[in-house]
A and B are shown apart, each in its own frame.
Chain A
Amino acid sequence: MTVLAEQQEDSARRTRRSLTLSIGLLLVGLHLAVALLTLVWIPYDPTGMTGGRLEAPSWAHWAGTDRLGRDLFTQIMIGSRIALIVGAGAVAIAAAIGVTLGVLAAFATRYLDDALAATFDILIAFPTLLLAMLVVAATGTASLLSAILALGIAISAIVARLTRILAKRVLAMDYITAARTAGSSWPSIVFRHLLPNIWPTLSVNFALQFGLAVIAEASLSYLGLGAPPPNASWGRLLQEAQGTVYTAPFGAVAPGLALVSLVIGMNLLADGLRDIGDPTRRRSR
């Protein structure tokens, strides 16, 4: 391939990447804006009967009304806030537990490392949803907090396994040994060299897990294990629309679209993020 063709391909790839990143940012940004808006303003009282039952979408009710005559668009807007809280909360918990355990395993002696690795693998073999259901059952009540905690713990195994593999690869590098011979302490190795070097890959994974957490929470809610109204999530709306899906399909379609747009947005963002944070991949200079 000629140099010119290579450059063209490279720039085409970059354009594609930045387009991906832009669409991702747009979708996630939209949900974030709506979530923030709900803190100060919502169109209707989400629990009040503000229209007829099962009304089709109209100018007054953009997404129609549910079977109790409540405005669906208002509930979907609040759902954005719930989804972002769930995603961010679950990923934060998963990151805290997963990165700590993963780094620990990478540093550990052979036996402890093997034991931890096996634990991660077993936990990952469980479906996330099943694991989350067990945690919700263990905490006793179905609330937003228990759902976040459950998903955070379930996802932490995935993060731990990835962290362990990435960390082992970095720790085998000569610059780590050189830093250790030169007298660097463990904390200094972890915070100055290890975490910055695994961060680009980890952050991409966090964005993906964020999307998965939102889906999993919707599933939990759909099964009746999520937060009850008025903090209902999209999964709860989907569950409530289930009985009337033939007569009033918008009740399922509207929250479904909201869910899909946020998850796709997170995935595109993850894809676009891949290049950022790794200077060797920023080739534009």
Chain B
Amino acid sequence: MTLLAIDGLTLSIGDQALVRDLSLSIAGGERLGLIGESGSGKSLTALAAIGLLPPDIRAEGSILLDGRQVIGAREEDLLPLRGAAVATVFQEPLTALDPLMKVGRQVAEPLARRYRREGKKLDRKALAREVRDLLERVSLPDIDRIVNAYPYEISGGQRQRIAIAMALACRPKLLIADEPTTALDVTTQAEILDLLSDLVRENGMALLFISHDLPVVARVAEKVAVLRRGEVVEQGPVTSVFGAPAHEYTRTLVSAAAAFDKALEPAQ
């Protein structure tokens, strides 16, 4: 079944189009990479998919999220979709967590919402236990300390793991990750990517993975859409798009990544 079907999406501000005639779809359990340079409209597309566009940006076309039209929908109709159908992880681990709330409470919040959604009893102990389970699943060390820590007291990589745990707490059918590793160092980046791939697979979630970095997309996604200046120039399975790029822009992306690999080789 198709979880997210974007068809002919155009986003504009005034008479300037930021995204033009974009179409893509993600089926249940499928992992799609959205790749493109900075400013190409990746984040706006993601925000449009969850109905959280800035108020001055106009959307045309169709976005079906879990079978429901998002464009033009009222806030109260979108609310039940959020969390249940979709959750997000963002780029900046520093701003992705509320600086004034202890980490444990932040993870407990979406969890409590899911309990209510599923009609489960809100039992403090069960909630606390599942918070710890979630933190364990995202491979955080020293959980006793981290549960009671403020975001500024833990590292960037740890914060991003918390953000992932919060998204997992929702048990969404689709996880949107908007450049979740861009702000991290290379080692941490690889760890988070592997964690994300494992978790998505284990839970049967679909993934919309946004990045400007080709190797990163190739690592987690099976399908890819290449975005350039608000337009999709090419899409298909990762192997064919990156293996035999049809569009000029994709070719530059691939050769840039290849050149980078080559530059690293002598050092290894």
Interface residues of A (CB under 8 A from B): 109-110, 173-175, 177-185, 192-193, 196-197, 278-280
Contacts and interface: CB of A to CB of B under 8 A. Distances in A.
Contacts of A110: 55-56
Interface in B148-165: 150, 152, 163
A192 B88 contact: no
Interface in B37-72: 47, 50, 52, 55-56
Contacts of B166: 178, 182
A178 B152 contact: no
A279 B79 contact: no
Nearest to A173: B95
Contact of A182 (B87, B98, B100): B87
Contact of A193 (B50, B80, B98, B113): B98
18 contacts: A110-B55, A174-B91, A174-B96, A175-B95, A175-B97, A175-B98, A178-B167, A181-B88, A182-B83, A182-B110, A183-B79, A183-B80, A183-B110, A192-B98, A193-B98, A193-B101, A196-B100, A197-B100
B113 A178 contact: no
B5 interface: no
A183 B98 contact: no
- Which A-B residue pairs are the 10 nearest by beta carbons? A183-B83, A174-B90, A183-B82, A181-B88, A174-B95, A182-B110, A174-B96, A182-B83, A173-B95, A280-B152
A178 B90 contact: yes
B172 to A, nearest CB: 8
A110 B13 CA distance: 13
A182 B97 CA distance: 13
B227 interface: no
Interface residues of B, number: 36
A174 B92 contact: yes
Q: Is the interface of A mostly helix, strand, loop or mixed?
A: helix
B138 interface: no
B21 interface: no
Interface string B84-110: 101111111001111111000000011
A182 B133 CA distance: 19
Contacts of A278: 100
B249 to A, nearest CB: 28
B107 to A, nearest CB: 11
A177 B91 CA distance: 12
B19 interface: no
B14 to A, nearest CB: 12
Contacts of A175: 95-98
Given A178-B89, A280-B99, 16 more contacts: A110-B55, A174-B96, A175-B95, A177-B52, A178-B167, A181-B83, A182-B82, A182-B110, A183-B110, A183-B113, A183-B170, A193-B101, A197-B99, A197-B100, A279-B99, A279-B100
Nearest to B172: A182
Contacts of B88: 177-178, 181-182
B110 A279 contact: no
Given A184-B113, A279-B150, A280-B152, A178 B176 contact: no
Q: Counting chain A CB atoms within 10 Å of each CB, which of B88, B100, B166 scores highest? A: B100
A77 B80 CA distance: 59
Interface string B162-184: 01001101100000100000000
Given A177-B88, A181-B83, A279 B113 contact: no
A57 to B, nearest CB: 50
B101 A180 contact: no
Contacts of A183: 79-80, 82-84, 110, 113, 117, 170
Contacts of B109: 179, 184, 192
Nearest to A170: B98
B87 A181 contact: yes
A94 to B, nearest CB: 23
A183 B91 CA distance: 19
Nearest to A107: B55
A179 B150 CA distance: 17
A121 to B, nearest CB: 21
Q: Counting chain B CB atoms within 10 Å of each CB, which of A180, A183, A280 scores highest? A: A183
